Amino acid sequence: MEGYRYITLRDDPELENRAADWFSNKWRVPREAYIECMDAYLSGETEYGWYLCLCGDDIVGGLGVIENDFHDRKDLTPNVCAVYTEEAHRRKGIAGKLLDMAVEDLRSKGISPVYLLTDHTGFYERYGWEFFCMAQGDGEEDMSRMYIHR
């Protein structure tokens, strides 16, 4: 993992606009939705953070933590969201490092467990996540897998 730098958005708040653009581009969620969540984190309104992997000045991986990742199980909170690693940087442990970083950061603040909604199988288990239940994503026809990290 040489050459990579892992930070929270609080470590470098000046990255907020670039990070919001980056996540919006990857997930097709309006930039304003990211800015709203990032502002709440940067202002200390919430401890649900944003975690980035940088290679030089480029964002090559990231994820966030929000109250609910657009699903019907509002009782399962907080949720890791927007997990993404640039294709050229995959298979280098970036997502796993970011997931561990988020879980440990939240745990240090007394926030546990953490949940994650996904259609993937086999990936998150490698990083200590366990299948918890099925959940209905907003506007989704099929159910998705809800994972928990205790």
What pLDDT digit, counting tens, does each position of 4-21 carry? 999 999 999 999 999 999
Cα first-last separation, the chain: 26
CB 53 within 8 A of CB 3: no
Please, are residues 146 and 117 in contact by the beta-carbon 8 Å criterion? yes
Q: Is the pLDDT of residue 1 over 90?
A: no
pTM (two decimals): 0.95
**Mean local confidence (pLDDT), 137-150:** 94
User: What's residue 88's pLDDT?
Assistant: 97
- Tens of pLDDT, residue by residue over 80-128, are 999 999 999 999 999 999 999 999 999 999 999 999 999 999 999 999 9
Q: Is residue 32 helix, strand or coil?
A: helix
Contact 6, 101 (CB under 8 A): yes
CATH code for the part of the protein at 4-114: 3.40.630.30
Structure confidence by residue, pLDDT tens digits, 30-89: 999 999 999 999 999 999 999 999 999 999 999 999 999 999 999 999 999 999 999 999
CB-CB contact of 33 with 106 (8 Å): no
